[in-house]
Structure 1
Amino acid sequence: MLRVHFSGDDLGRVRVATRPDPLWETTLSLHRLQRGDGDLRVRKWRGAVRTRLPKAAGPLLTLVPPSGYFPDFLTPSGEDLEEQLDLVCRTERLALRRDLAVLARSRRPTPWARDLGDANPAALGALTRAARSYHRAAIEPVWNDILACFDRQRARQARLLLTDGVDGLLRGLSPAMRWKAPVLEVDYPVRQDLHLDGRGLLLIPSYFCWRTGVTLVENDRVPVLVHPSKSTFPKPCAPATAPPWPHCWGTRVRPCWRRSKAAGGPAMSRAARASPCRRRASTPRCCVKRVSCSVRVRATPCGITSRNWGRHCCARIFNRLSLLPETVTHGYRVPTPQQHLMRK
């Protein structure tokens, strides 16, 4: 677990980055590329990148494993890729050796990594070329999506800050982060304590950050906390059995019923009272057809067996019953299967 310790001065110096960090996105995307996690858009991105991954990006893969630690010198502060790569090339030899020594605990160093630890200009040049080629192939095609996701998250955090203050901002970072003043607890693979000591904290929303936050190992730089954007939070697993209507379809559904002029309630014609399905016809049910739902899932919440589902969906019956619901989903009016059959 990562524990970030705040003081009164630190709470007044919490800020959000103004633009996505190119090298943080690059390194975190390498985690997503080598692992099988991520949402649907990340999986699509992974399939596309694997077909066009350049060979020049090989040195970068030796420094960023599928999970766990990667060197701090790969993510200097900045908002421009070229400026950040220039800072990487000017990293001191002591810092290079220190970070590579930590990496060597989990994976065996290559001869190129040893040259990099000695600040060899050729090794540093190969690293910058690898970062540029990988960024061009993997990050630039989705950069507009990254910017849009970042802007939405930043606007959301601004609303939280204006409404609930810094406490609300820190509480709304991620489900894997818990604000227990004056400590922010973050689900983390190792135990680490980050004491801000009056320096404040820079929050960086990330497109490729998944589930929990990431920070630097060493405490000699500007404290940062990279966290997933709201749209990249992992969705909870679907329940084993379908919950009661209408949540079984995973969509907010509002049924719109035709109402009788006299009673003001759902219209009940003479055919409804004479129908053998009177009990079920007297209870309006919204029949939403979704590709992901089977007949059994649709029929169960309505108290109808799968065998009789087609009988209740007959266009003639629903026409005579005058029970023609419409669903309003995300602001769009969608015809139900019964209305679709009647139009034919």
Structure 2
Amino acid sequence: MPQLRIHFTDLDLARTRLKLEMDLMWEIVSSVQLLQHTKEGACFDPWRRRVRDRVSRDSVLRSAVLTLMTVAPHATYFPDFLTPALDTADIDAAVDAVLSAPSARRTREVGRLRPADGAAANWLNELAAGKVPALRHLRQALRVYFRSLIEPKLQTIDGGLQKEWADGAQRYLRAGPEGLLRWFSPAATWEPPILTIDYPLDRDLYLGGRGLVLAPSYFCALHPVALADPRLRPILVFPIAAGTRLLAAGHCDDGNLSALLGATRATILRAVVSGSTTTGLSKLVGVAPATISHHTGVLRAAGLITTHRHERAATHTITPLGLRVLTSSPVGAEKSLGAAGGRG
């Protein structure tokens, strides 16, 4: 079977990390490819059926889906510029990053696609050339697709990713970066200094001191995926566990967490999964920094977050216990909070 071999140095191992933010463009691209095959049916068949039903009744959505299937086919290659290195939860910012790819890069990457359909080939040629109508068409397709098919499922996606983040963070705390490399995928084998992964084609990726970002994805289904261009930031997007996907819908009701902690503290706990400052939380929640400090003090005393201060800024980060509370059932969360209170 073909394999991807990722070569590490000691510096690469030290710089390997788990991405703790949802990547909107990877979810979009992965879901578009998922619509083009029938594998992983137990998890995704209901979603595919809903998409087919909506597409049959909505010509604008149908055009968006066909456009994205053209530029992101289910194949051994799709353009890297569709998944820019950007941490944002805003679809407009993500789309802007896609469209702002350098023209030479867009031309090169789109040029590797070989559609059989004449109309699709003509549009890709115009996209590669940076024609304004083609770029606008791609922008519209990405926005319509996201608003119609991804945004309504964001809560479920986030629920699955939070469980994966919690598992990965605990593995990292127990066993360091090598623990992550042994945990993230059954398709991967870590034999220092090489990570070997079952892959659609044979290739070698030399990290060269840049480290590796491991990014769990809800819609990534068949195997981990790396960028085609080895010069770009090394990232490996991998499927979350199938069982986690199936359970995510049952654990994404924020009402349970809000009832347990209060709405403001529940929002804060979710926001600090990837770290946040007091000022950032104040803007997110819409209350004064002094009020945020009160709530973070309560969460810190319960062992759910930690706070690190540098000069005048305080950065808050969730703890493994906080992650367990965030991703557990209401009963499990109550037990965790009880234990935290006992230790306080």
* TM value normalised by structure 2: 0.65
Q: Could you tell me which of 61, 67, 75 is aligned with 1:59?
A: 67
Q: Could you tell me which of 184, 201, 205 is aligned with 1:194?
A: 205
Correspondence 1:98 to 2:146: no
Cα distance, 1:225–1:99 mapped onto 2, change above 3 Å:
same
Alignment correspondent of 2:165 = 154
Unaligned runs of 5+ in 1: 236-330, 332-344
Correspondence 1:85 to 2:87: no
Alignment correspondent of 1:29 = 31
Displacement of 1:44: 0.7
* TM value normalised by structure 1: 0.65
When you count helix as a share of all residues, which structure comes out higher?
A: 2
Alignment correspondent of 2:76 = 68
Displacement of 1:64: 1.8
Displacement of 1:173: 1.0
- Following superposition of structure 1 onto structure 2, how do residues 210-225 of structure 1 map, counting pairs within 5 Å? 210-225=221-236
Cα distance, 1:106–1:140 mapped onto 2, change above 3 Å:
same
| CA displacement 1:124-177 (0-9 Å, x = unmatched) | 111011011111121112111110111100110111111122211101111111
Which 4+ stretches in 1 moved above 6 angstroms?
105-108
Q: Contact conserved, 2:25 with 2:83, CA < 8 A, in 1?
A: yes
Q: Could you tell me which of 231, 235, 240 is aligned with 1:229?
A: 240
| CA displacement 1:166-199 (0-9 Å, x = unmatched) | 2111011111111111111111111111111111
Distance in structure 2 (CA, Å) of the matches to 1:105 and 1:134: 21
Cα distance, 1:232–1:107 mapped onto 2, change above 3 Å:
farther
- RMSD of the TM alignment (CA)? 2.2
Q: Contact conserved, 2:33 with 2:69, CA < 8 A, in 1?
A: no
3-state SS in 2 of match to 1:226 = strand
3-state SS in 1 of match to 2:112 = helix
Q: Contact conserved, 1:6 with 1:195, CA < 8 A, in 2?
A: yes
Cα distance, 1:56–1:106 mapped onto 2, change above 3 Å:
closer
Number of paired residues? 236
Correspondence 1:43 to 2:54: no
Distance in structure 2 (CA, Å) of the matches to 1:233 and 1:195: 31
Which amino acid is 2:121 matched to? T
Q: Contact conserved, 1:207 with 1:232, CA < 8 A, in 2?
A: no
Distance in structure 2 (CA, Å) of the matches to 1:94 and 1:223: 21
Distance in structure 1 (CA, Å) of the matches to 2:70 and 2:50: 21
Distance in structure 2 (CA, Å) of the matches to 1:34 and 1:16: 28
Alignment correspondent of 2:136 = 125
3-state SS in 1 of match to 2:204 = strand
Displacement of 1:66: 2.9
Cα distance, 1:186–1:82 mapped onto 2, change above 3 Å:
same
